[in-house]
């Protein structure tokens, strides 16, 4: 009888019989929540509210738009999409990037196509509004962690109301700020998700902001600017030194932690010499590799970038974090200008890496940082965390992701029972780069199973208790899904790395083994 009831519940969760019709959810009452839209959307393309482009090839689904107001200052928009047919019984929530301000419709579409109910939030502000929202502590809390948590809570209630049963399992996926959100969820709200896939996390937020300023400052003068030609020169020299450490000379460094490269070997020997670095440029490169240092005490505050991804430093003409003129890169200028200094005209070169960073941490670390190594409750609940980081990330140092894992492992030597880390050789920040890019992170894998796709690996770990040892990553020609496959490579659970067996096609994952 018990087996019959279990099978019946599973069948009902996959059926098209619902406790409420989609439009009827407009009257659903949830704490501090207003449902502003509830409608059935036919299969095909769908342009979400405020989106610039349609999300293509979607199954028919129920679209819910809501607003969460946990405080008087809060205005958190969120969406929940639920398939009208063939629901897999699971909920997947997608994280954000940068300073957020938009709902992650693309990842929601990916999840929906795979049978998940999907949800995401704008974290409490829009990308178009003035950045003065950063000056409001409650809205900063919403952005840092509260909005995602409350979205997960609301999404579960909406799914529970719409279908005849609640989601059997809940999962999370996000990269960059989304990676930070995932780690904070495991730390602050360990009950929210059974499985988390987090990538390239900005979890040490205050120091990541300082790192963006640091890399901007050290390359901000004409003498220290690094041209694309300079970057290619450096990367070519790095490859000559370190590429073959894994046995495969293929333009990808599998284990950058073992790469020892001194940029001074490229110093110009005479004035006017080409294909070399000036002493000022070499010093700037050393500072990028070395990371943020307190100028007063000499203490190393945050890791630098690994060697091997130098061409990525100048992505979009150097508009990431190097060669800055008027502002520091990505999120740091807005965060410091508005949240810390309350001055939109703040000049990034004036940042004091001793005094100002301490002030930032005293003021914001308890809100924005996700560095607590105590995951005991997450472990007790049986939840699982898969973390990945692009080894060639030109924005957030991959060593930061390793450092956090090491702090957890120091506190709990059995942390690998619920927390696995995968370093992705040649991957830039969440996407792009010379290495594999498609493994179910920011780019869907061509094969959706636990051996190729990180969310599927998390599902298998949570639901079948089989921990991931390696995941096959894929690189498409020109990094565009749908193009032919250029190469595949195993991603290995840290501290193992992929090493070439010594024979066979280097583009074939089967010719690599995970080893120390």
Q: Report d(CA 459, CA 81) in Å as an integer.
A: 20
Q: Are 152 and 119 in contact (CB under 8 A)?
A: yes
Strand 44-46 versus strand 33-41 pairing type: unpaired
Q: For residue 205, what are the CA distances in angstroms to 164, 179, 202, 392, 500?
A: 40, 11, 5, 19, 36
Burial of 414 (0-12, 13-18, 19+ CB in 10 A): exposed
Q: For residue 361, what are the CA distances in angstroms to 141, 263, 328, 356, 425?
A: 15, 32, 19, 9, 31
For residues 342-357, one letter each, b for 16 or more C-beta atoms within 10 angstroms of the residue's C-beta and e for the rest, the string is eeeebebeebebeebb
Q: Are 144 and 178 in contact (CB under 8 A)?
A: no
Q: Are 183 and 366 in contact (CB under 8 A)?
A: no
Q: Are 429 and 394 in contact (CB under 8 A)?
A: yes
- Catalytic residue numbers read 176, 393, 429
DSSP string, 42-107: -SEEE--TT-SSPEEEEPPEEEEEEEE-SSTT--EEEEEEEESS---SEEEEE---TT--S--HHH
Tokens of 195: 């499985």
Tokens of 482: 């749908």
Q: Are 61 and 81 in contact (CB under 8 A)?
A: yes
Q: Report d(CA 375, CA 121) in Å as an integer.
A: 25
């Amino acid at each position: 009888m018990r087996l019959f009831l279990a099978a019946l519940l599973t069948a009902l969760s996959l059926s098209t019989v619902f406790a409420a019709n989609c439009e009827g959810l407009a009257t659903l009452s949830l704490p501090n929540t207003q449902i502003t839209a509830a409608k059935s959307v036919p299969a095909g393309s769908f342009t979400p509210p405020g989106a610039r482009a349609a999300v293509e090839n979607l199954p028919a689904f129920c679209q819910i738009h809501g607003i969460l107001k946990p405080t008087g200052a809060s205005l958190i928009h969120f969406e929940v999409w639920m398939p009208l047919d063939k629901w897999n019984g699971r909920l997947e929530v997608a994280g954000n990037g940068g300073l957020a301000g938009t709902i992650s419709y693309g990842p929601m579409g990916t999840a929906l196509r795979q049978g998940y109910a999907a949800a995401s939030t704008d974290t409490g502000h829009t990308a178009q509004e003035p950045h003065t929202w950063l000056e409001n502590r409650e809205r900063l809390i919403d952005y840092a962690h509260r909005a995602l948590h409350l979205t997960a809570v609301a999404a579960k209630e909406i799914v529970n109301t719409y279908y005849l049963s609640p989601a059997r399992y809940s999962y999370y996926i996000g990269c960059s700020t989304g990676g930070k959100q995932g780690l904070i969820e495991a730390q602050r709200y360990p009950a929210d998700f059974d499985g988390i896939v987090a990538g390239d996390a900005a979890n040490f937020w205050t120091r990541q902001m300082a790192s963006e300023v640091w890399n901007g400052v050290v390359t901000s003068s004409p003498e220290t600017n690094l041209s694309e030609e300079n970057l290619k020169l450096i990367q070519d020299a790095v490859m000559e030194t370190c590429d073959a450490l894994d046995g495969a000379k293929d333009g990808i460094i599998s284990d950058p932690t073992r790469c020892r490269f001194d940029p001074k070997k490229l110093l110009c020997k005479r004035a006017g010499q080409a294909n070399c670095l000036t002493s000022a440029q070499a010093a700037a490169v050393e500072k990028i590799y070395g990371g943020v240092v307190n100028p007063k005490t000499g203490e190393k505050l945050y890791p630098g970038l690994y060697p091997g991804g130098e061409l990525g430093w100048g992505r979009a003409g150097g508009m990431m974090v190097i060669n800055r003129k008027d502002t520091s890169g990505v999120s740091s200028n807005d965060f410091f200008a508005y949240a810390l200094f309350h001055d939109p005209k703040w000049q990034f070169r004036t940042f004091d890496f001793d005094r100002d960073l301490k002030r930032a941490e005293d003021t914001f670390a308890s809100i924005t940082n996700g560095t607590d190594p105590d995951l005991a409750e997450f472990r007790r609940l049986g939840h699982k965390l898969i973390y990945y980081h692009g080894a060639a990330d030109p924005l957030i140092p991959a060593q930061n992701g390793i450092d956090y894992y090491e702090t957890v492992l120091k506190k709990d030597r059995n942390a690998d029972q619920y927390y696995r880390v995968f370093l992705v050789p040649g991957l830039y920040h969440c996407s792009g780069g010379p290495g594999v890019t498609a493994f179910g992170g920011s780019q869907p894998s061509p094969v959706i199973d636990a051996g190729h796709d990180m969310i599927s690996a998390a599902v298998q770990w949570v639901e079948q208790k089989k921990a991931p040892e390696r995941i096959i990553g894929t690189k498409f020609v020109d990094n565009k899904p749908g193009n032919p496959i250029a190469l595949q490579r195993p991603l290995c659970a840290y501290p193992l790395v992929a090493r070439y067996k010594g024979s066979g096609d280097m583009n074939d994952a089967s010719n690599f083994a995970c080893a120390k």
